Amino acid sequence: MNRRTLLCGLAALAVTGCATTATGKKTPGVGTAKPGDRVAALDAVPVGGGVLVDMPGDGQLLLVRPTEGVVKAFNPACPHQGTTVNPPTGGEITCPTHRSGFDPATGAVRSGPAPKGLAEVAVVVTRTDVVLA
């Protein structure tokens, strides 16, 4: 093998590795987290909004805080085709692929093509943290 072939092969491997890392594909859901595990700090979830949080084992949850005293967690996979939904803006959780809309307080579908609402994941607030129930 000559030097040029070796360098081209290494460059191809580097680009492939960077592309995989750059996408950072997460699997919607709790990953390997277990009940009692911390999901996020309470103050990281804005009142009237929400955030996508990374979970152990490459999982991902959507935390929403529709009002000061309520925090909900949802599996962020749109029931239509599995696309990760966006955190709520303007009072609605939206799927970027086909624009299904969901209620941030309940996860219920407001507009399709999603056939049903987002799957809720049980969480509780313990003073300053949101943890899996």
Closest CA to 119 of 79, 66, 71, 60: 79
How far apart (Å, rounded) are the C-alpha atoms in residues 70 and 90? 18
**Domain locations in the chain as residue ranges:** 27-132
6-28 per-position pLDDT tens digit: 334 433 333 333 333 344 678 88
Q: What is the pLDDT along the chain (133 residues), one digit of tens a residue?
A: 544 443 344 333 333 333 333 446 788 888 899 999 999 999 999 999 999 999 999 999 999 999 988 999 999 999 999 999 999 999 999 999 999 999 999 999 999 899 999 999 999 999 899 999 9
Residue 85 amino acid letter: V
pTM of the entire structure? 0.80
Q: Looking at the domain 27-132, which fold is it?
A: Rieske Iron-sulfur Protein (2.102.10)
Take residue 94 and report the two structure tokens written for it: 């939206």
How far apart (Å, rounded) are the C-alpha atoms in residues 91 and 94? 10
CB 91 within 8 A of CB 126: no
3-state SS of 42-110 is: HHHCCCCEEEEEEEHHHEEEEEEEEECCEEEEECCECCCCCCECEEEECCEEECCCCCCEECCCCCCEE
Residue 83 amino acid letter: T
Q: Count the residues in the chain.
A: 133
